[in-house]
Structure 1
Amino acid sequence: MVRSMTGFGRGVTTTEQFRLTVEIRSVNHRFLEVTTRFPKEWMEAEVHTKKMLSSLVSRGKLDVSVHVKELSQQQQVVQVNWPLVNAYKEAREELQKQILLDEKWSMTELLSLEQALTVKVQETSKEEILTAVDQAVQQAASALIQMREREGQELQEAVVGFKTDLAEQIELIRKVADQAVQKYRDKLVTRIAELADISALEERLLAEVAIFAEKADIAEELDRLSSHFVQLDETLQENVSIGRKLDFLLQEIHREINTIGSKNQSVEASAAVVQAKTILEKMREQVQNIE
């Protein structure tokens, strides 16, 4: 199925502690480039996300935004640095021998002891984070791909329509291809008749016309164009990333049309070549959006 490279998708996962929202925006790019913005402590989840998206999308510039909203206060734990507290106790007992101090410590005094008490927030487990991220990214990626497929269908229809118009111009060139040789012969006959007896130069005339006919022959180019059109139709039915292949085919078609334009100088063929190039350029604009 043809996919566009532009799209948007959002996924939301809710746990007991937080609500996670993942948004993915994608635009055209020659290769696959994934840019993510995760909380600093979620490095493992960020790596997991990039790997997941790389397996789902082949081309495009993906911008992944992550928003985390806390739903409840995280549990806090006070830890006592017992070795340090005991060291403070021994120092206090030494001071008490010299200075009159209260026998009991007040809570204020304990809290004032540097690094004796530390408050730690119970962190969310890596497994819970990875599970939540995986679910949200899968949901966002699914919505993104669906949107890219819808736009891809429209692009496919546009490319097929332009291909039909292009084939009509090529068929017109095929019909008028032989006219160039006849017109050249008539023109050559007129010029020679002005200079000499035409009967005496018949052999030379045939040779000149034969040389011109060989130079103006576009049969091979027309055959290759027919082959390229068949490949174009087949490629549009493939279920893989086809953007680069289509771009290559259009380059080959452009090369053949250029060669036809340089070989066949008839007015009708020249006009058809110009029209064909115009159509081809529109096709390339559409193909640039295909994954």
Structure 2
Amino acid sequence: MVVSMTGFGHSSKEIDSSLITVEIKSVNHRFLDINLKMPKQFMSMEDRIKKLISKSVNRGRVEVYINFEGESLAQRSIQIDWNLLTQYVQSLQQLKERFSFHDEITLSQILSLGEGIDIRDEATISEKIETVLLQTVEAAVKQLTDMRQIEGQQLAIDVKNRLAAMSEIVVNLEKLAPKVVDQYRERIEKRVTEFVSGKIDENRILTEVALFADKADISEELTRIHSHIHQFQESLQADGPIGRKLDFLVQELNREANTIGSKANDGKIAKDVVELKSIIEKIKEQVQNIE
């Protein structure tokens, strides 16, 4: 099945009084590139989320947006540096004794230190939240892959139609190619006749025509184009990622078309080559989106 690299998926799931929302979008890319944007409390889940996505997506740049609404995931806690505070109190006591201060050491003085007491947010995710998060990602990925498959089917139909049009042009070129040699022979005979008053060196003409036929021969290029089209059609029926192979075949088709164009000594052939290259370019654009 042909799969597109372009798609979108969305899913939301409630958990207690909170809501987890996942949005995934993908575009074409040479390899699989997954980028996650989510609350820092979920960062410990990054590898598991990427592995889950990579089970269904083989190529493309995938952007994942995860949002959490509801009670904070962070648990706040107080961290006290007892050693630092002990030194601070001892130092104040020494100051009092040395300079005969009578002020009492108060809690506000200790708190004014600004250090020693730290309030921290500890990221803690319950097993329940982890499970719901992965379920939400999985549902969004399902939407994404469904959309990629639907678009892939449309791409396959379009490419098959263009391959059929290309095959018709190749068949027409096969009919035109021999006529080019015959027409060249007629032109040579006409020119020679005009210059030698009807006396024609048949061997010289045969030699010239043979040289021209060898230079203008496009039979090998047409045979290879037929082969590439057949491989293209087979690949469209194959399972798994096929985009890179199709991209290679497009390059080969384009190379053969360019070679035929350089050999073309006929207006009709040149016209068909222009149409052939136009079709190949349109196929190339579609192949860029195939996984």
After TM superposition, the score normalised by the length of structure 2 is: 0.83
Q: Which whole-Å CA distance do the structure 1 matches of 2:157 and 2:142 have between them? A: 23
CA contact (8 A) 1:15 1:132 kept: yes
The 5 A counterparts of 1:1-291 are 1-16=1-16, 18-70=18-70, 72=71, 114=111, 124-125=124-125, 127-291=127-291
Over 3 Å counting, the alpha-carbon distance change for 1:180 and 1:15 in structure 2 is same
Q: CA deviation at 1:247?
A: 1.2
In structure 1, what residue type is equivalent to 2:194? E
Read off the aligned partner of 1:203 and give its amino acid letter.
N
Deviation at 1:242, TM superposition (A): 1.0
1:248-271 CA distance string (max 9 Å, x none):
111111111111122232222111
In 2: Cα distance, 1:246 partner to 1:177 partner: 28
SS, match of residue 34 in structure 2: strand
SS at match of 2:201: helix
> Given the superposition, is the C-alpha separation of residues 121 and 16 from structure 1 closer, same or farther in structure 2, using an over 3 Å criterion?
farther
CA RMSD, aligned part only?
A: 3.2
Preserved contact between residue 74 and residue 121 of structure 1 (Cα < 8 Å):
no
| C-alpha distance in 2 between matches for 1:289 and 1:78 | 50
Q: Given the superposition, is the C-alpha separation of residues 64 and 179 from structure 1 closer, same or farther in structure 2, using an over 3 Å criterion?
A: same
Q: State the AA in 2 paired with 1:55.
A: K
Give the equivalent residue in structure 2 for 1:106. Answer: none
Measured in 2, the distance between the counterparts of 1:211 and 1:80 equals: 92
Determine the C-alpha separation between the residues in 1 that align with 2:209 and 2:77: 101
Which consecutive residues of structure 1, in runs of 5 or more, have no partner in the other structure? Answer: 102-108
Displacement of 1:8: 0.4
Code of the residue aligned with 1:59 in structure 2: it is R
* CA gap 1:270/1:74 in 2 versus in 1, 3 angstroms: closer
Contact 1:225–1:253 (Cα < 8 Å) also in 2? yes
**Contact 1:25–1:64 (Cα < 8 Å) also in 2:** yes
Question: 1:172 deviation in Å?
Answer: 0.8
- Pair 1:180–1:73, CA change in 2 (3 A): closer
Paired with 1:229 and 1:269, the residues of 2 have a C-alpha distance of: 19
Letter of the 1:192 counterpart: V
Deviation at 1:65, TM superposition (A): 0.6
Question: 1:212-234: per-residue Cα shift (whole Å, max 9, x none)?
Answer: 11111111111111111110110
Q: How many residues align?
A: 279
CA–CA separation in structure 2 for the residues paired with 1:75 and 1:39: 11
Q: Which amino acid aligns with 1:257?
A: A
Task: For 2:208, give the aligned amino acid.
Answer: E
- Alignment check: 8 A CA contact 1:8 1:26 kept: yes
List structure 1 segments (4+ residues) > 6 angstroms apart after TM superposition: 73-81, 98-101, 109-113, 115-122
Over 3 Å counting, the alpha-carbon distance change for 1:73 and 1:237 in structure 2 is: closer
| CA distance in 1: counterparts of 2:67 and 2:169, whole angstroms | 53
Contact (CA 8 Å) 1:11, 1:136: kept in 2 or not?
yes
Counting aligned pairs with the same residue, the percent is 40
One-letter identity of the residue aligned with 1:234: E
For residues 195 and 16 of structure 1, do their structure 2 counterparts lie closer, same or farther at Cα, with a shift above 3 Å needed? same
